[in-house]
Chains A and B, each alone.
Chain A
Amino acid sequence: MDNRMAPAISFSSVRKTFGDVTALGDVSFLAPTGSVTVLLGPNGAGKTTTVRLTTGAMIPDFGAIRVLGLDPLTAGDEVRSRVGVVPPKPAFYDQISGWDNLQFAATIFGADESEALKAAARFGIDHALGQDVGGYSTGMRTRLALARAVLHDPEVLMLDEPTAGLDPESARAVLELISEMAGKGRTIIMCTHLLHEAEGVADQVVLLEDGEVRAAGAPRVLAGRYMADPIVIIDAEDRSMLPIVAELDGVLSLRDEGAFHITLDNTDRIPDLVIELVKRGVRPTRVEPLSPTLEDLYFEMQRAHREAG
């Protein structure tokens, strides 16, 4: 069996409540080995609870979870030794140095100190390892947290809002890590509500809202499902002439958003559309088929579920 096809993580009808509050309702999804799964959702959607259940740090009320073929409830110690986690607000022992923190992590994860040093260098935090972590900036703390999470070369890496509050350079380091780890066949789970950051790295998107999975699948598949009608952006020298587009065959709708966003019934119509516009005296300056962003997709999925509900 191809290992890359087997799910590294599976949630099956998982439910978790805190008193009267339902954190996860009936959550099921698969994260294939070597894939990047992005858990999308607003604050309180259940993303952090999902991470905590995955490592066995929390116990579900109901349902089954498997991580690397193991049950975190009965084989939690092994699961946790093969998983790396970057929590939303990485915490350290602030009174001691970055190196002492990394050394501690290396010992409990059974890694060599050389690996800890290598991880620190990988995230550009090696120069500050002698300082007490209490004096670190948010970016430095995240870099140290990333180093700490990967020093034992985990098979699954879980990043919970890893770019929150980061400078662009540190945010890029996170995204580079995701690509690098995925390239090495590692499974990545990334929780975020910053959609543009998940763009381009997600093999699969799981949309969580109010503790329920609203949609799950590859972005392209989801785009096909939720945004079936293609959009093309058109601008012209004389924009006042553009509303005539609405009269042309295959145009379903028209939105003026600076440039005109035109929904077509088929992308094959774009060349004919341009020819017809030119015939009518319009001189187009921009014709750009729009690939839906994750953000477009996210809001479209939310809209579709609101309408369905």
Chain B
Amino acid sequence: MRWSMIKAVVRIDLYRLFKTRDYWIPLVILGGLFFVILPVILLGSLNFIQRSPMIGQIGQIIGTLPETIQQNIQGDNPATRASYAFAVYLLAPIAIVVPLTISSAVGANSIVGEREQGTGEYLAHSPLTVREIYVAKLIASLIPGYLAGIAGFTMYSLIVNIIVGSQIGGWFFPTAGWMLLVLWVIPPFIAIALSLILRLSARVRSAASAHQASSLVTLPVILMSYGVASGLLYSPVVSAAISGLAAWIVAIILLVTGSKSIKRERLLGVSAEA
């Protein structure tokens, strides 16, 4: 594979995305909602309503968790412990929704968008191999989601440390489990979703169909990754690492076989099977 060519396709895709405000502004709003607005409101409210009966109810829920988890929850009063539990165990896995949604939205449009715009014909006549086109589209779809994830997690970490950290005597976030989740577990889930979405994008006839079809893929993957992420935060680090490895193996298999879904005739939009 010729990486200079792949880089050129990735660069132009990202540049086009950057210049299409209508496309990325809703995605930024989505990120802001999950990483900033929701945490500030929830954690701020918990901080504010220290003596509410709700704190007692949250404390009761925390009491049902395994002993090891309960020991990990920091704070010397029920309100702080509730904030800590929310920040680390409840809100955090939701954040996986953002990178997955962003990457899915970009990926769904990536191949069928070329065809709709007519630039698929140019790519079909170019010396790029279908594998290079596939890898480039994959990377170009992965980067926005992952960067948004990293930026969002950073914002989220700041918010958690400012609101909750001040209650427990210092900055504590991200925890080891969280780092593992962000750097090792979430990326393969994005890759799995993307490998499926790019297959769809190569086959459907319009961008609208691609977006509709991609939601069928994205939703189960989000639910699955949310479940895995939640579970892993309650599990030992080794379990998380092994789960991440398994997800990577599945992702790599899907990614390697995915390039077969792109055919030059499909870029032209004339394949009888397209």
Does A299 touch B at the CB level, under 8 Å?
A: no
B268 engages A57 (CB within 8 Å): yes
A173 to B34, CA, bound (A): 55
CA distance A112 to B19 in the complex (A): 25
Binds B, one of A90-98, A201-209, A225-233, A243-251: A90-98
Q: A58-B264, A58-B270, A77-B127 are in contact. Are A96 and B15 (CB under 8 A)?
A: yes
Q: Which residue, B19, B122, B126, has most C-beta atoms of chain A within 10 A?
A: B122
Q: Chain A's nearest CB lies how many Å from the CB of B227? A: 38
Interchain CB contact (< 8 A) of A104 among B12, B19, B267, B270:
B12
Nearest Cβ on chain B to A8's Cβ, whole angstroms? 16
The answer to whether A260 has its CB under 8 Å from any CB of chain B is: no
Chain A contact residue count (CB 8 A cutoff):
33
Which of B8, B119, B125 is the one whose CB lies under 8 Å from A107?
B8
| Closest-CB distance, B264 to chain A (whole angstroms) | 5
- What is the minimal beta-carbon distance from B22 to any residue of chain A, in angstroms? 10
14 additional contacts (CB under 8 A) given A57-B267, A80-B127, A105-B122: A57-B124, A58-B270, A81-B127, A91-B117, A91-B118, A94-B117, A95-B20, A96-B16, A96-B19, A100-B12, A100-B15, A104-B8, A107-B4, A132-B19
Look across to chain A and name the residue whose beta carbon is closest to the beta carbon of B263: A59
B127 contacts which chain A residues (CB < 8 A)? 77-78, 80-81, 108-110
A52 within 8 A of B: yes
**Is B94 at the interface (CB under 8 A from chain A)?**
no
Residues of chain B whose beta carbon lies under 8 Å from any beta carbon of chain A: 4-5, 8-9, 11-12, 15-16, 19-20, 117-119, 121-122, 124-129, 264-265, 267-268, 270, 272
- Chain A residue with Cβ nearest B273: A19
**How far is A89 from B269 in the complex, measured between Cα atoms in Å?**
14
| Interface presence of A190 (CB below 8 A) | no
Q: Mark A164-194, 1 if CB is under 8 A from B, else 0.
A: 0000000000000000000000000000000
Closest chain-A Cβ to B32's Cβ sits at a distance in Å of 24
Query: Using Cβ atoms and an 8 Å threshold, which residues of chain B touch A95?
Result: 16, 19-20
Partner among B15, B19, B126 whose Cβ is within 8 Å of the Cβ of A109: B126
- Does A162 reach chain B (CB closer than 8 Å)? no
